[in-house]
Chains A and B, each alone.
Chain A
Amino acid sequence: QKEVEQNSGPLSVPEGAIASLNCTYSDRGSQSFFWYRQYSGKSPELIMFIYSNGDKEDGRFTAQLNKASQYVSLLIRDSQPSDSATYLCARSWGGSYKLIFGSGTRLLVRP
């Protein structure tokens, strides 16, 4: 069983809509979660991280963590064609600095 699961997509949304990306995990141990964006042929770039239950907002992005249900999500408001990329969810465990990545969800924002 994979530790971090993501729907591979593609998730297609029209420009200006809210894109909702989801990630589930299997390890209940205390941990932090990270969302990275990766454009084709490029390396991942950090969008934001979250480690407390609830919502965390940064500009057009909102990360949501629900430890009881073991899922973390990323909402992108006012989606733009430039947001079209693969979004990687990753988790780390408090005692380890290693990141475990999901397989990523490809997002396509239609103009």
Chain B
Amino acid sequence: GAVVSQHPSRVICKSGTSVKIECRSLDFQATTMFWYRQFPKQSLMLMATSNEGSKATYEQGVEKDKFLINHASLTLSTLTVTSAHPEDSSFYICSARESGTSVWADTQYFGPGTRLTVL
């Protein structure tokens, strides 16, 4: 159980175009999903928290107008990188929170990631 999928796994686009990445929880409902970015040899950086049916909460320094997040259902969240530029090239990973028996036991399961290359 607790499987999270992401699509596409890899995308190459031209500078100035927009790219949409989908994150799905396959066997559980995820009221909260998270979006991370990871540059080579660095740790994961949380970009935003996505709650089903409400606006995403962005971390400091993350442009909400550039990284559009939509969490329309309990199993799907999307991240759209608008007007992508080469500096946006990175490994984008989503995670979904599965509710545990208590808040202490909540765990996040990660999707396989999307490698974005902007030319």
Contact = CB atoms under 8 A, between A and B. Distances in A.
B105 A43 contact: no
A100 B49 CA distance: 13
B43 A103 contact: yes
B82 to A, nearest CB: 23
A49 B107 contact: yes
B97 A94 contact: no
Nearest to B113: A43
Nearest to A32: B104
A44 B104 contact: no
Interface string A31-50: 01010100000111110010
Contact of A97 (B32, B42, B43, B110): B32
Contacts of B110: 36, 43-46
B44 A97 contact: no
Chain A: interface residue count, which band? 20 to 34
A82 B36 CA distance: 26
Interface residues of B, number: 21
Interface string B2-34: 000000000000000000000000000000101
Contact of B104 (A42, A43, A51, A99): A51
A92 B106 contact: yes
A101 interface: yes
Contacts of A36: 110
A111 B51 CA distance: 45
Most buried by B among A32, A88, A104: A32
